[in-house]
Structure 1
């Protein structure tokens, strides 16, 4: 476990609790399949943030054990559901738990193992396809979900600071596939499975997205319409997806949700919540914010202007970033093509308390802009 400052020790012991913080994350965790009852039971066992990862990992281990038992007894549907529920618990445990990388990485590896067990039990036509895309001497790990309908568009989901392709990426893929899209979820530099091989460098990230598009264009067997490619991203991905679309002209449209489009240099990073500061150093592989700032500092107005249609969501009660309106205003100035801003004054980070209306709207918008049949 890393050495914590006095500020962090106080925050993690007395401030980070269900009343003040955890309830804000419920929408996110529910969105990829954690049952509300299970969520409340596990949170009730956690005395403070220091035990977060440990308790959620225990819950994942128990679900994994039950899944194996169900499989041995011939209950394949139950086993698949339990393996994926375990993925959710492992992901919740490691999510933004930057204070102990050994715990974090251990839980993340368990999530990947459980996911592989779950997808073994899918019917072939629905099974996520593991792909590895060459990029600067490493391989970008990803999963492809096929719509089952020839010549349909491709949506590429860009992770946030601490998403993993097996959790949010999978649940998003279920939605897009159901509506006729092909879908790719991946771990980029500094994220998930790729973190060990390549750390985050903001000015280079868009090249990873372009490598995925390069790979997609070369695939003939999957019958995807690679003339119709869209990017979507939540949280940090809400910045990375639009800026990647600005650099790669093959992207036809993009959706960003709660993007941090301006960091404000070292001073801006120092204003972040202690958890997100730890996230900055973790993603970049640096020990201090001072060392990390060159890899984790940007202003979207310094990037090439976006020329393709943009749908951008932002909220007024975003606990992740200071002054959220600044980000939406900058995004709208920067985007030069057709653009729509959906601003929820009372919304939480990534519109997690409005997803029942946000996802259907995104689907309709993408269908229109990709000219789906």
Structure 2
């Protein structure tokens, strides 16, 4: 009798698990989460800087979001890598993951399922979502690191030499309010406290990931200076203000560099240096005067906002397709140079052919 009861409970539990799985998860499990045989797992923790633009669930109803009328031809860096380098870096299958209901999220977590919250369409191992703050990396309800680990544990072998990118912080201390405070005082208490808290959250995520997968490779992305964002060009046009902002944000980057120090399987990606090498920075006076980036033979990209691909950022403020393509290109270079990966470098012509296969965007 006891055996019958245990068997019944087991069957009920299995049935509940099946019902709680999203269609994407059922499909994934049906395929045994095979993935590309020679690809390593590729995971992401973060915010809208890494959330896939082709998430129709979250962006489909907002006609102005992520490229507006050009959204189907506008790409996030994660999507560019998934389309062009999935044979080497596997972000998992595309699908609808998680739930929009908090209580169901908790139940799914308790059953060892993907309880990620909020729900989104993306690649399985991309936990980043729009609006995320540093606390969402490890907090019980959102727990990006924990949800990624749940997915990783289903195929632990491919994460022995896997890669996780952590890119977050803009929503915490990259705001106009925080930059304004830093412009007056590089040690302003509120933004400094937010930076220090974010470094702690990132350190905790690294410890959790590496505790489960000691040889996992991790990329820590430094904070972009939003004073160089097209929307903020009218602000902080003085040498002292800009110097204070740079000095203040350097605290966060230094914190990440300290996490990476002495560990050759952790790399730091300097986002400010990357942007400066392409578009430059403001003049010493603080005046926003930037270079034009040539992408391909006849295509110029300026540090302006708009949904056409000649703008560095989109009308909604997020990185444009060319920005994301060049960022993905640099990330691959970092992975190869720092970790010794053999990912084929992303070539400009290759990215152009993906972004504009029929030449309708005029980037030729």
The alignment's TM-score, normalised by the length of structure 1, stands at: 0.34
Higher strand share: 1
Structure (1 or 2) with the larger CA radius of gyration: 2
Higher relative contact order, structure no. (Cα contacts within 8 Å, ≥ 6 residues apart): 2
The alignment's TM-score, normalised by the length of structure 2, stands at: 0.34
